[in-house]
Structure 1
Amino acid sequence: MILKNEFEAYLKAKMDENIQGRVNAAMSYSLFAGGKRVRPQLLFAALQDYGADPAVGLPAAAALEMIQTYSLIHDDLPAMDDDDLRRGKPSCHVAFDEATAILAGDGLLTLAFRVLCESPKEKVPELVAAFSDHAGANGMVYGQELDLKAEADPQPTIEKLYTIDQYKTAKLLTLPLLSAAILTDHREDQETMKTIGYDIGIQFQVLDDILDVTQSSEALGKSTSDAENNKMTAVSLLGLEKAKQTVADLEQEINTAIDSLHSDGRALKEWIAFLTNRTY
């Protein structure tokens, strides 16, 4: 398994290749602010379950974290969620300024595809297509659009919320699983990986909504701003206890789907247990 320190060293090496200006400083500030690295670790776990050397996934894992971090930088901007705290530190636009934060997000997104191209060359076209589909206007970006629209929705429903979560959250959690299948030539598992990724995304966001009302901003390392921004949440629509039951039910569904993969499955299940029981 790839150790956290090995992945962090790889990320730093990629950032050190950039021109060392203010924008790169802002990119690094957010990239190394202490995130959980969920998406890279899902990729490494899936590769391990397939019996592959997780190091083959380092470029894709770095690209995933760069895209995730860019999305958070832009999500925190005043024109979006207007959050001043991220990963326990001032958001990028607070620590630097709005213009630099926008450029930092742009820089991370474009650098992600440059780093992704360091994957085994015969896998690069399929990986680039998958990253574009899941991170772009048909994926996470579309989820951001739906999320902003929902603030003015007079009739919120759980179905509408799950559609937002499917794109805004689940697409970038599906991507590491698909990447593992691509890198190991297990394309027969891609549809199951999409199912698992969707369920992980819904579970992840429902738990985030639970933590938003049960934990402090200090404990979470980010602002608990959903109520202030008039966002529909799983807790507001389902109630706290039903939301908690949803998290537990989804863990069972995810583990059942993992059992149907052409892989060992144990490393992925360990990460699902971590995600289910996280408190931040």
Structure 2
Amino acid sequence: MNDALATFLQECRRRVASHLEVGPAYPNALEDICAFALGDTGKRIRPVLAITAAAAVSDNAASVSQPAAALELIHTYSLIHDDLPAMDDDDMRRGRPSLHKAFDEATAILVGDGLQARAFELIADAPDLSAEQKVRMIKVLAEASGFAGMVGGQYIDIQATNSDMSLEDLKAMHEMKTGALIRASLALGGIAANASEEQLAALDSYGRHIGLAFQVVDDILDVEGDSATLGKTAGKDHEANKPTYVRLLGLEGAKAEARNLLEQALAALEGFGDSADHLRELARYIVERDR
């Protein structure tokens, strides 16, 4: 990652940080637990993508900071529930104990539910956005989070353990489980900046390809990474006999697929000028990351 991108990422994360701080919207009994869940240990790629998409469209975009923070709340809730014993049963997340290990399962479920609701509250209360923009954002985020997105993808993923799955079915699953929220991140940024339908379509194509690339790289890191660097249990998917890109394509084939998806993501941005350079750099970072 070059210095310019690192500085930009830091600024994006600073912009959403205040909206992720635990305050009056959280009950006192859960304040410390929510603060633990929202600790600044994640990459926060989704809020960064939303801010970067808005900047690619306009340098006078309406405030996207709260919708960007809403994306992180949805993502965090999904990780909390994903780690539960009934799902992936993982004891480690972002280099710390999973929420159900640090506290208990009931608390993890309730905190996840609360973060999900809080996300939509943030969008509804976002300043400098029209009612039409807010409604459109809420619809996009709800679809990406629900049966057509993360929830549906997670269900398919659970059912796929110890089963054969074609490459096309694997892609379809990950477009729901991982890709839907990444595409929503680009959409929310575009909506905040009043992007044209053509610009939104280009951002969606970029998001679709980079969302799949993100998952391909996750599968590669599950094989090549270590738990300390990843911040979660390495080799978990392999041990659980889950279908992955590495399992279907081999390690080198998966790496080639990630590079191909990167090229397609970059091609989707051809209609944008220099304003989309950070999106281009983010795509490269997502594919070249080590965690």
What is the TM-score normalised by the length of structure 1?
0.94
Deviates more, 1:268-277 or 1:36-45: 268-277
Equivalent position of 1:117 in the other structure = 124
Deviates more, 1:62-71 or 1:132-141: 132-141
- For structure 1, the 5+ residue unaligned runs are none
- Asked if the contact 2:12/2:48 (under 8 Å) is kept, the reply is no
Whichever residue aligns with residue 124 of structure 1, its letter is: K
* Deviation (angstroms), 1:95: 0.2
* Deviation (angstroms), 1:263: 7.7
How do 1:106-145 residues align onto structure 2 when only pairs under 5 Å count? 106-119=113-126, 120-122=129-131, 123-145=133-155
Per-residue deviation, residues 125-179 of structure 1 (Å, max 9, x unmatched) = 11111111111111111111110111142x2221121111100000010011111
Q: Does 1:213 align with 2:223?
A: yes
Q: Residue 269 of structure 2 aligns to a residue in which SS?
A: helix
- Asked if the contact 1:24/1:104 (under 8 Å) is kept, the reply is no
- Distance in 2 between residues matched to 1:185 and 1:211, nearest whole Å: 37
Q: Does 1:175 align with 2:180?
A: no
Q: Does 1:235 align with 2:246?
A: yes
Per-residue deviation, residues 84-141 of structure 1 (Å, max 9, x unmatched) = 0000000000000000000010010000000111231331111111111111111111
Identity %: 37
- Distance in 2 between residues matched to 1:9 and 1:132, nearest whole Å: 23
Equivalent position of 1:203 in the other structure = 213
- Asked if the contact 2:62/2:192 (under 8 Å) is kept, the reply is no
Distance 1:197 1:6, change over 3 A: closer
The one of 87, 100, 105 aligned to 1:93: 100
* Deviation (angstroms), 1:54: 6.3
How do 1:12-51 residues align onto structure 2 when only pairs under 5 Å count? 12=21, 15-51=22-58
Equivalent position of 1:268 in the other structure = 279
* Deviation (angstroms), 1:207: 0.3
Equivalent position of 1:66 in the other structure = 73
* Deviation (angstroms), 1:229: 1.9
Q: Does 1:277 align with 2:288?
A: yes
Equivalent position of 2:157 in the other structure = 147
- Asked if the contact 2:137/2:191 (under 8 Å) is kept, the reply is yes
- Asked if the contact 1:70/1:109 (under 8 Å) is kept, the reply is yes
Q: Does 1:6 align with 2:1?
A: no
Q: Residue 218 of structure 2 aligns to a residue in which SS?
A: helix
* Deviation (angstroms), 1:246: 0.9
Cα-Cα RMSD? 1.7
Equivalent position of 2:174 in the other structure = 165
- Distance in 2 between residues matched to 1:29 and 1:82, nearest whole Å: 19
Equivalent position of 2:255 in the other structure = 244
- Asked if the contact 1:47/1:184 (under 8 Å) is kept, the reply is yes
- For structure 2, the 5+ residue unaligned runs are 1-7
- Distance in 1 between residues matched to 2:261 and 2:141, nearest whole Å: 25
- Asked if the contact 1:44/1:54 (under 8 Å) is kept, the reply is no
What is the TM-score normalised by the length of structure 2?
0.90
Whichever residue aligns with residue 80 of structure 2, its letter is: I
Deviates more, 1:66-75 or 1:266-275: 266-275
- Distance in 2 between residues matched to 1:279 and 1:55, nearest whole Å: 33
- Asked if the contact 1:50/1:262 (under 8 Å) is kept, the reply is no
Distance 1:180 1:262, change over 3 A: farther
Whichever residue aligns with residue 228 of structure 1, its letter is: E
- Distance in 1 between residues matched to 2:289 and 2:62, nearest whole Å: 26
- Distance in 2 between residues matched to 1:261 and 1:27, nearest whole Å: 39
Distance 1:262 1:178, change over 3 A: farther
